[in-house]
């Protein structure tokens, strides 16, 4: 409800906007049904809207894995380099360093970007005091959180950039090779042996620390999910002999691209403006409703609409350079606004974050800003529930609309991202929508847990898997040559 202490004319405008952001239970069900349909289209054929990328990861860890590996994480706000030691008892230690990726690198020539990745690994190794003369190459897992069509654990071509990246001459190329070439140019004794998406990392690391997991999900700068699927349902793989004897494979859904046609997603004029002005109009539709990169911008569009109303509804018709700039209103500010315990505090947040003078922000303004943040974030949380529910349904763990489901099996979801970690009540909203979609019995058995350091630990687990597979292959080859 719009705050009712405002003038009736204002309340009427706000109510109209609020109506645009409502999601009925029927709409949530339609969205979830469409998700499941799109999953199956994507599993059947390549080049579908929902990419449903086979990852060649054919099992999840159980916590007994051991070893030390490097991990490189590109695709979030920062570039991270880590060294991960898996102790084999569900625990690990991790040393890491963050590096900034400039806009220039994100949108310049791809070789420059990959040279920078190699430089960062070099700097990290120096800082950690690694011996450059080590005889055996260090194994590195690359967490690369963009849509990649993978053909092996250590091979995958970039399909498209997302989240503000647009480096030239990378699309269609094998990103492992781009990175390895950069290492080789620098004569770094590091070998990239595994390629993993951050969602897959979240799934694997949660499985490692909790002994099992069916879904890894990211709610950060972007949103995406990866889950464990029956290989028999990944029809587009055909009868690949290399997978003989395997029954499961992790699939990276790339669900951020769900419903690019927006036939079921509830677009408002504020969403449309965001999309038009984005660097990838008409793509990543779902992500633009859900994730940290965009929620602040939707809210900014909404707030400016109220500033520009005649007569003005917000800030007396005034704005600030922050509020005027594209992506100037960060999703983290929304968190601050919603975390504020009273309107005086909201006022303070607006002054500090948006750059108004205290006298230019009334308590009514504070009330409206808080209402706007809640509207945008609550819709995102509910929509996030559709993705989680759709995977429960796709994997046969639940039925759409709920209904009787027996047993006391727990369903573990590994999550990562600032939004789910820090946004107030985000998980509650997601769970409310799960109750509508799969019933409260199933919802109460869903354990949502942080995949701590998921991208680092996930990459390490994948690198371990790759080394194991290579050794098995080597042994098989030796056996044949001896025999």
Catalytic residue numbers, as ranges = 163, 198
Closest contact distance (angstroms) between CB of 367 and ligand ADP is 21
Closest contact distance (angstroms) between CB of 146 and Mg ion is 12
* Residue 96 binds ligand ADP (CB under 6 A): no
Closest contact distance (angstroms) between CB of 53 and Mg ion is 18
Binder of ligand ADP out of 147, 156, 292, 458 (CB under 6 A):
292
Angle subtended at Cα 280 by Cα 335 and Cα 254, rounded to the nearest 5 degrees: 70
* Residue 76 binds ligand ADP (CB under 6 A): yes
Closest contact distance (angstroms) between CB of 454 and Mg ion is 8
Which entry of ligand ADP, Mg ion, none binds 456, CB below 5 to 8 A by partner kind? none
User: 6: which residues sit within 8 A by CB, 6+ positions away?
Assistant: 14, 364, 367, 368
Alpha helices in 66-169, H assignment, sequence order? 103-107, 110-127
* Residue 256 binds ligand ADP (CB under 6 A): no
Q: Report the relative pairing of strands 92-99 and 53-54 from DSSP bridges.
A: unpaired
Binder of ligand ADP out of 419, 434, 438, 462 (CB under 6 A):
419
Taking the least distance from each CB to ligand ADP, the nearer of 166 and 397 is 166
Residue 314's closest CA among 326, 301, 325?
A: 301
Buried b / exposed e along 159-182 (16+ C-beta atoms within 10 A): bbbbbbbebeebeeebbbbbbbeb
DSSP E strands: which ranges in 337-466?
411-416, 446-450
Q: Which stretch binds ligand ADP (CB under 6 A): 151-159, 270-278, 347-355, 419-427?
A: 419-427
Q: Phi-psi bin for 362: left (phi > 0), alpha (psi -120 to 50), beta?
A: beta
Closest contact distance (angstroms) between CB of 254 and Mg ion is 15
The residue at minimum Cβ distance from Mg ion is 76
Q: Which stretch binds Mg ion (CB under 5 A): 69-77, 230-238, 286-294, 445-453?
A: 69-77
* Residue 77 binds ligand ADP (CB under 6 A): yes
Q: Report the relative pairing of strands 190-196 and 138-144 from DSSP bridges.
A: parallel
Taking the least distance from each CB to ligand ADP, the nearer of 139 and 353 is 353
Binder of ligand ADP out of 332, 363, 450, 467 (CB under 6 A):
332
Taking the least distance from each CB to ligand ADP, the nearer of 368 and 419 is 419
> In the window 398-417, what residues touch ligand ADP (CB under 6 A)?
417
> In the window 204-243, what residues touch Mg ion (CB under 5 A)?
220
Taking the least distance from each CB to ligand ADP, the nearer of 414 and 417 is 417
Q: H or E stretch including 215?
A: strand 215-219
> In the window 216-255, what residues touch ligand ADP (CB under 6 A)?
220-221
Sign of CA pseudo-dihedral 206, 208, 210, 215? positive
- The count of chain residues that interact with ligand ADP, using the rule CB under 6 A, is 15
Q: Coil, helix or strand for 31?
A: helix
Both tokens assigned to 239: 């009868």
- The count of chain residues that interact with Mg ion, using the rule CB under 5 A, is 2
* Residue 418 binds ligand ADP (CB under 6 A): yes
* Residue 106 binds ligand ADP (CB under 6 A): no
User: 224: which residues sit within 8 A by CB, 6+ positions away?
Assistant: 145, 197, 198, 199, 217, 218, 252, 253, 254, 255, 256, 287
Alpha helices in 191-284, H assignment, sequence order? 198-210, 269-276
Closest contact distance (angstroms) between CB of 298 and Mg ion is 21
Closest contact distance (angstroms) between CB of 461 and Mg ion is 16
d(CA 392, CA 379): 21
What is the DSSP code (8-state) at residue 260?
T
What is 273-286 written as a DSSP string? Answer: HHHHTSSSTTSSHH
* Residue 76 binds Mg ion (CB under 5 A): yes
Which entry of ligand ADP, Mg ion, none binds 252, CB below 5 to 8 A by partner kind? none
Taking the least distance from each CB to ligand ADP, the nearer of 122 and 336 is 336
Tell me whether residue 237 is exposed, middle or buried, using C-beta atoms within 10 angstroms of its C-beta: 0 to 12, 13 to 18, 19 or more: middle
Both tokens assigned to 419: 């939004």
Residue 113's closest CA among 159, 156, 83, 144?
A: 144
Taking the least distance from each CB to Mg ion, the nearer of 76 and 414 is 76
Cis bond before residue 311 (omega within 30° of 0): yes
* Residue 335 binds ligand ADP (CB under 6 A): yes
Per-residue interface string for the shown chain with ligand ADP, residues 32-71, x marking contact by CB under 6 A = ----------------------------------------
Binder of ligand ADP out of 254, 330, 365, 427 (CB under 6 A):
330
User: What is the signed CA dihedral for 104, 107, 111, 113, rounded to 10 degrees?
Assistant: 60
Q: Which stretch binds ligand ADP (CB under 6 A): 95-103, 164-172, 324-332, 350-358?
A: 324-332
> In the window 28-47, what residues touch Mg ion (CB under 5 A)?
none
Which entry of ligand ADP, Mg ion, none binds 293, CB below 5 to 8 A by partner kind? ligand ADP
DSSP E strands: which ranges in 248-407?
248-252
Binding residues for ligand ADP, per CB under 6 A?
Answer: 76-77, 220-221, 292-293, 330-332, 335, 417-419, 422-423
Binding residues for Mg ion, per CB under 5 A?
Answer: 76, 220
């Amino acid at each position: 409800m719009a705050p009712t202490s405002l003038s009736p004319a204002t309340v009427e405008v706000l109510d109209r906007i609020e109506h645009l952001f409502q999601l009925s239970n029927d709409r949530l069900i339609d969205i979830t049904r469409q998700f499941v349909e799109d999953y199956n289209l994507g599993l059947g054929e390549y080049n579908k809207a929902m990419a449903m990328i086979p990852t060649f990861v054919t099992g999840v860890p159980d916590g007994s894995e051991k070893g030390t590996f490097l991990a490189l994480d590109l695709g979030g706000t920062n570039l991270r380099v880590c060294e991960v030691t898996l102790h084999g008892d569900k625990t690990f230690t991790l040393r890491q360093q963050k590096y900034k990726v400039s806009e220039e690198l994100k949108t310049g020539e791809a070789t420059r970007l990959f040279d920078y990745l190699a430089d960062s690994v070099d700097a990290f190794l120096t800082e950690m005091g690694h011996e450059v003369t080590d005889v055996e190459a260090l194994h590195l897992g690359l967490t690369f959180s963009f849509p990649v069509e993978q053909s092996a654990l250590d091979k995958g071509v970039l399909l498209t950039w997302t989240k503000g990246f647009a480096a030239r001459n990378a699309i269609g190329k094998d990103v492992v090779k781009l990175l390895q070439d950069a290492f080789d140019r620098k004569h770094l004794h590091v070998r990239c042996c595994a390629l993993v998406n951050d969602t897959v990392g979240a799934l694997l690391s949660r499985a490692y620390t909790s002994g099992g997991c069916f879904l890894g999900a990211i709610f950060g700068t972007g949103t995406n999910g990866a889950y464990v699927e029956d290989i028999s349902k990944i029809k587009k793989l055909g009868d690949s002999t290399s997978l003989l004897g395997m029954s499961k494979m992790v699939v990276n859904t790339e669900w951020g691209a769900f419903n690019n046609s927006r036939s079921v997603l509830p677009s408002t004029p504020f969403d449309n403006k965001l999309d038009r002005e984005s660097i990838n109009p008409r793509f990543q539709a779902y992500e633009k409703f859900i994730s940290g990169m965009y929620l602040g911008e939707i809210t900014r569009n909404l707030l400016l609409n109220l500033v520009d109303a005649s007569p003005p509804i917000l800030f007396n018709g005034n704005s600030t350079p922050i509020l005027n700039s594209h992506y100037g209103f960060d999703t983290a500010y929304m968190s601050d606004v919603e975390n504020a315990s009273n309107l005086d505090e909201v006022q303070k947040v607006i002054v500090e974050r948006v750059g108004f003078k205290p006298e230019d922000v009334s308590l009514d303004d504070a009330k409206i800003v808080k209402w706007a943040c809640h509207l945008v974030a609550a819709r995102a949380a509910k929509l996030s529930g559709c993705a989680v529910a759709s995977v429960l349904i796709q994997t046969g763990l639940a039925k759409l609309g709920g209904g009787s489901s027996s047993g006391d099996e727990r369903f573990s979801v590994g999550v990562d991202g600032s939004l789910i970690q820090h946004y107030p009540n985000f998980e509650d909203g997601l769970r409310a929508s799960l109750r509508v979609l799969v019933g409260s019995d199933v919802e109460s058995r869903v354990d949502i847990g942080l995949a701590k350091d998921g991208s680092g630990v996930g990459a390490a687990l994948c690198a371990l898997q790759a080394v194991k597979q290579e050794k098995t292959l080597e042994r098989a080859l030796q056996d044949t040559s001896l025999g």
